[in-house]
Structure 1
Amino acid sequence: MAVSTPAVAAPASPPRLAHRTGLMLVVIAMAQLMVILDATIVNVALPSVQTSLGFSTQNLSWVVNAYTLAFGGLLLLGGRIGDLLGRRPAFIGGILLFTLGSLLGGLAQNSGWLLGMRVIQGAGAAIVVPTVLSLIATGFPTERERNRAFAVFAGVSGAGGAIGLVAGGLLTEWASWRWVLLVNVPIGVALALAAPLFIGRTPRSEGRFDVGGAITSTGGVALLVYGFIHASDSGWREATTIGSFIGAVVLLVAFVFIESRTPQPIIPLRLFASRNRSGIYALGVAMMGSLIGMFFFLTLFFQNVLSYSPLKTGLAFLPLSVSIIVVSGVMMQLIPKIGQRLPLVAGTLLITGSLIWLSAISADSAYLSDLLGPMLLYGFGAGMVFMPMTMVGVSDVEMEDTGAASGLLNATQQMGGSLSLAVIITVYGAATNGATGDPAHVLAKGASAGFLVAVGFTVVALALVVLLVRPAANAPMPGMMPGMDAGPDAEPEPSADDSPSAPQAKNLE
């Protein structure tokens, strides 16, 4: 069955894209990897950043959160930018903004300067990621090419966090913490120069930006995260904590009000009408929250308990990264045969089991005997989940909603990850509050409590996937035109509306 789409959905340059899809995939995969790994590449460098720029321990976590909150909060607006301005100029603009933030962040002389540049990096990433996903959904003419592209996307998305830790360890130990940011500059410039050569022009939709929706959604989640982090230090009854939660509720209610009345919202509420997508959004929150939480606690454990160097800490995550990449490649071959639901359920079960295993962590835990096993189990589960989660999240939507759908899929992961980490850190603080004795035992006690909270997230997500997600066999991806066969070698049939000169295909960029 094919998706019925208006003429504006037709690819503007099918011959060019058909001949250069391999090179286009390289460009967009490198861009995706760059912005995803930047969420974790600074983690290993945090102690060096703290010493260099004078961060307090409480504020140090904002080096990570400033990026992920801006990334997640502006993803929804980023999706609309690609729809309204054209995906190629949006891709180039996002890459250049991200590169500028990386350059100035690497030159930061104080904490405020660095945090501001992390926000700029996040804003650039928020434009790039939904544009990349929309290009995959619409720029590959056969199902086989799309499946390959989604497998690559899922692999770099899933492994990007672990690769960032390895790269961060290498750069911090061999050069300086500043190079975890400066390394993006030559890569970003190269991608911006390559994009016009390998990414075809796409039509621009007519409409306007929903700035009010972007501001209220980002502000609401940011206040929620701040409220949880502040509560872990100052208590739940403190005035700032209460004010943060009240402000968050007000902004999020305003966001729903704005979206329900805006003619062109950044989140068309009709996207939530699909049970499949609603279940996938919940799974994305749990997945990213557990992944960020695992990186956070194990990074602390490796350096503070096992006395690993930054480089050794990064290398300790390498098996996790490799397992995600390998299993994602296997899923590319299996999903056309077994469907998307079985890997989603089985992968979430494996992730839940790995977190239960990690919750047994203690000060006496060793890497090979106690930590490597659950890390590999998590990698197997994540590799099974990422590709079908991405495919279901953006499938069966109208072409004008592909930017919003891809933005929402990524936004639930990034903002949900920030919020989940804030909850986990709050539980960690409660578990270690007043604890005395060996710091290693205190850290292990808090980490164990944090992993149990992550288990709760994934159990809820598993229940929602089982109850809600029922992807249709051979479900069409956005961008499949009438007459486009679902078979591996099918090509779109010519149509009078496929020409960029058709009346509805306007403003090619």
Structure 2
Amino acid sequence: MATPKAAPAAGAGSGAAADPRRWLVLAVICVAYLMVGLDLTVVNLALPSAQEALDFTDADRQWIVTAYALPFGGLLLFCGRLSDLIGRKESFLLGVAGFAVASAVGGAANSFGMLVTARALQGAFAALLAPSCLAMLATTFTDPKEKGKAFGIFSGVAASGAALGLIVGGALTSALDWRWTLYINLLFAAVALVGGLSLMTKQPKTGARMDVPGVLLASGGMFGLVYGLSNAAEESWSTPSTWGVLVAAGVLLIAFAFWQTRAAYPLVPPRIVLDRNRGGAYLTVLFVGTGMFGIMLFLIYYMQLNLGYSAISSGVAVLPMIVCTTVAAGAGAAKLLPHHGPKPLITGGMVLSAAGMAWLTRIGTDSGYASHLLGPLIVVGIGMGLIYSAALGTATSDVSPEDAGVASACANTGQQLGGAIGTALLNTIAATAATGWLEDHVNGQPTAQQLELASVHSYTQVFWWCTAIFAVGAVISGLMLRSGPLPTPAAPAADPSEQTETAHS
């Protein structure tokens, strides 16, 4: 009787697990994904310098951020399916090369329009690159133990990219010039391109088909959702450019969901998101993307505007969180996820993150770093590591080869939407809280001290909301995710030639 072979992961090429270069491929994937993660925040600290150099207005400044977020969030599902269609290696290399060219154009920009165009191109190629990275990772490692270690390393990179962007952006802007926040991508891209060309193997075509109506509905809805939320963060929820666009986006996304149940080759097959574990993973990254802006945005504001930290100092201050995230992600994916499954890691990570955000509500106008900030950062870092190690591994678990790219894109979409929701929601909460405090405590023109107290009050309100977001995420993940380890793919049927050989033996 023939002995069954070990089952490959979804979309894995034969013999991928035995490839001695697979760990180098992982390093290349991590370099490319780190580049995408950095650019979510690396330009933020350089905006004042760029504004001075290119002479654009405060109102225009937000478009440098939004121009990146719009195509990134809007094109993820399309690009995820595109990677299934043209091949993961090809989409990876195209994404890296395009991102590098866009970064070079942005660094050399001599006008606001040129910089915005470059940032939009960065976002479009990031939408192609991000799901390709996760899909390539899922199909390169087939051994469960090795896959756990690989996802642990990748999860640490994915979870810490935005925080590292604050450090890198502050350092480059202070030491060199704002343009280097874009030029630095050329170094990452060069490593990723050389490594991708020399190490990655071309994977077989999956037979995926493109759902053109689904692409139009999903991309239009996602563009509208990200734009509406971005506009709400800067303007108001009551303006037609906010609520009108959000309503239109909602209609398009509802139509998209309806179409996916009837399309012959749906862009996002319902079987992907209706699986309890994968659906729970996508919701997880949505909650995390929303709640993390409490630290990525408002804790940085607090350190710089209230405590007087420099751009570099505030970036370095979040280093303990990054280290804890990386260590917890590695331990979670390699040791805990294979034995216990995603439910305890995600739920426990959400609880820890909620506890850390609640701890941050104790800040005051003159809080010390060691006494008020270090502890919460460590706790949130551990929570984030546990969440990402489980969520990213679960997002692509047990999917068919033709769906690996779009399953990866669903996870990236959740993260991008969470960031957009977090920016709009938390900015609104902060502004309302500060205004309310001043109305309750000030008669006439507020003093500088009163303005500072109002701003600290607004931050604590944001942190309480982040606590609630993570707490709700813990409840939902606890109810939605299945108990126990992730399912192992069934062993493939024996090859007919093997059966013949066995019959003759």
TM-score by length of 1: 0.87
Aligned position for 2:462: 450
Question: How far 1:396 sits from its partner (Å)?
Answer: 1.8
Question: How far 1:297 sits from its partner (Å)?
Answer: 0.9
Structure 1 pair 77–13 and aligned structure 2 pair: CA distance change class (3 A): farther
The structure with higher relative contact order (CA 8 Å, sep 6+) is 1
Partner SS, residue 249 of structure 1: helix
- Taking only aligned residues, the RMSD between alpha carbons, in angstroms, comes to 2.7
Q: CA separation in 2, counterparts of 1:36 and 1:417?
A: 12
Partner SS, residue 19 of structure 2: helix
Aligned position for 1:153: 154
Aligned position for 2:81: 80
Aligned position for 1:311: 312
Aligned position for 1:394: 396
Structure 1 pair 169–2 and aligned structure 2 pair: CA distance change class (3 A): farther
Matched, 1:201 2:202: yes
Question: How far 1:225 sits from its partner (Å)?
Answer: 4.1
Q: CA separation in 1, counterparts of 2:411 and 2:61?
A: 28
Deviation digits for residues 439-467 of structure 1 (CA, Å, limit 9, x no counterpart): 43232222222222222321221111111
Matched, 1:111 2:109: no
Deviation digits for residues 273-323 of structure 1 (CA, Å, limit 9, x no counterpart): 212222222211111112233111122222222222222122111111111
Q: Contact conserved, 1:12 with 1:200, CA < 8 A, in 2?
A: no
Aligned position for 1:359: 361
Name the stretch that deviates more: 89-98 or 159-168.
159-168
Question: How far 1:139 sits from its partner (Å)?
Answer: 1.4
Aligned position for 2:102: 101
Partner SS, residue 433 of structure 1: helix
Partner SS, residue 44 of structure 1: helix
Structure 1 pair 312–227 and aligned structure 2 pair: CA distance change class (3 A): same
Question: How far 1:475 sits from its partner (Å)?
Answer: 2.4
Question: How far 1:212 sits from its partner (Å)?
Answer: 4.0
Question: How far 1:334 sits from its partner (Å)?
Answer: 3.2
Aligned position for 2:273: 272
Aligned position for 1:488: none
Deviation digits for residues 157-202 of structure 1 (CA, Å, limit 9, x no counterpart): 1111221111111111100111011111132133212212111110
Question: How far 1:12 sits from its partner (Å)?
Answer: 5.4
**What letter matches 2:150 in structure 1?**
A
Partner SS, residue 473 of structure 1: coil
Structure 1 pair 271–197 and aligned structure 2 pair: CA distance change class (3 A): same
Q: Contact conserved, 2:343 with 2:481, CA < 8 A, in 1?
A: yes
Q: Contact conserved, 2:159 with 2:384, CA < 8 A, in 1?
A: yes
Q: Contact conserved, 1:101 with 1:120, CA < 8 A, in 2?
A: yes
Aligned position for 2:352: 350
Q: Contact conserved, 2:346 with 2:386, CA < 8 A, in 1?
A: yes
Partner SS, residue 267 of structure 2: coil
Deviation digits for residues 7-41 of structure 1 (CA, Å, limit 9, x no counterpart): x94515648x6121121111111111111121121
Q: CA separation in 1, counterparts of 2:146 and 2:111?
A: 46
Q: Contact conserved, 2:354 with 2:471, CA < 8 A, in 1?
A: yes
Partner SS, residue 323 of structure 2: helix
- In structure 1, runs of 5+ residues without a counterpart are 484-493, 499-509
Identity of aligned residues (%): 34
Q: Contact conserved, 1:69 with 1:418, CA < 8 A, in 2?
A: no
Question: How far 1:137 sits from its partner (Å)?
Answer: 1.4
**What letter matches 2:478 in structure 1?**
V
425, 430, 451: which one aligns with 1:423 = 425
Aligned position for 1:320: 321
Q: CA separation in 2, counterparts of 1:34 and 1:497?
A: 46
Aligned position for 1:335: 337
Q: Contact conserved, 1:229 with 1:422, CA < 8 A, in 2?
A: yes
Deviation digits for residues 366-401 of structure 1 (CA, Å, limit 9, x no counterpart): 322212211111001111111111122211222221
Q: Contact conserved, 1:213 with 1:265, CA < 8 A, in 2?
A: yes
Deviation digits for residues 396-445 of structure 1 (CA, Å, limit 9, x no counterpart): 22222111111101111112221222111122222233744434323222
Structure 1 pair 238–86 and aligned structure 2 pair: CA distance change class (3 A): closer
Q: Contact conserved, 1:355 with 1:374, CA < 8 A, in 2?
A: yes
Name the stretch that deviates more: 79-88 or 113-122.
113-122
Aligned position for 1:506: none
Name the stretch that deviates more: 299-308 or 333-342.
333-342
Q: CA separation in 2, counterparts of 1:385 and 1:245?
A: 29
Question: How far 1:245 sits from its partner (Å)?
Answer: 2.6
Q: Contact conserved, 2:232 with 2:424, CA < 8 A, in 1?
A: no
Aligned position for 1:284: 285
**What letter matches 1:314 in structure 2?**
G
Name the stretch that deviates more: 243-252 or 383-392.
243-252
1:29-178 alignment to 2 at 5 Å? 29-178=30-179
- In structure 2, runs of 5+ residues without a counterpart are 439-445, 499-505
Partner SS, residue 422 of structure 2: helix
Aligned position for 1:475: 487
Question: How far 1:476 sits from its partner (Å)?
Answer: 2.4
Structure 1 pair 282–339 and aligned structure 2 pair: CA distance change class (3 A): closer
477, 486, 495: which one aligns with 1:465 = 477
**What letter matches 1:361 in structure 2?**
I
Q: CA separation in 2, counterparts of 1:336 and 1:273?
A: 22
Question: How far 1:59 sits from its partner (Å)?
Answer: 4.2
Name the stretch that deviates more: 109-118 or 428-437.
428-437
Q: CA separation in 2, counterparts of 1:406 and 1:206?
A: 17
Deviation digits for residues 187-233 of structure 1 (CA, Å, limit 9, x no counterpart): 21332122121111101133443344344334334433443454466
Deviation digits for residues 241-289 of structure 1 (CA, Å, limit 9, x no counterpart): 3322322222222322443333223211222221222222221111111
Partner SS, residue 44 of structure 2: coil
Question: How far 1:4 sits from its partner (Å)?
Answer: 8.4
Q: Contact conserved, 1:259 with 1:269, CA < 8 A, in 2?
A: yes
TM-score by length of 2: 0.88
Deviation digits for residues 325-361 of structure 1 (CA, Å, limit 9, x no counterpart): 1112222233334433222221110001111122333
Structure 1 pair 125–308 and aligned structure 2 pair: CA distance change class (3 A): same
**What letter matches 1:80 in structure 2?**
R
Partner SS, residue 425 of structure 1: helix
Q: Contact conserved, 2:74 with 2:226, CA < 8 A, in 1?
A: no
Higher-Rg member (1/2): 2
Structure 1 pair 297–52 and aligned structure 2 pair: CA distance change class (3 A): farther
Question: How far 1:93 sits from its partner (Å)?
Answer: 0.3
Structure 1 pair 144–59 and aligned structure 2 pair: CA distance change class (3 A): same
**What letter matches 1:83 in structure 2?**
D
**What letter matches 1:482 in structure 2?**
P
Name the stretch that deviates more: 351-360 or 151-160.
351-360
Question: How far 1:81 sits from its partner (Å)?
Answer: 1.5
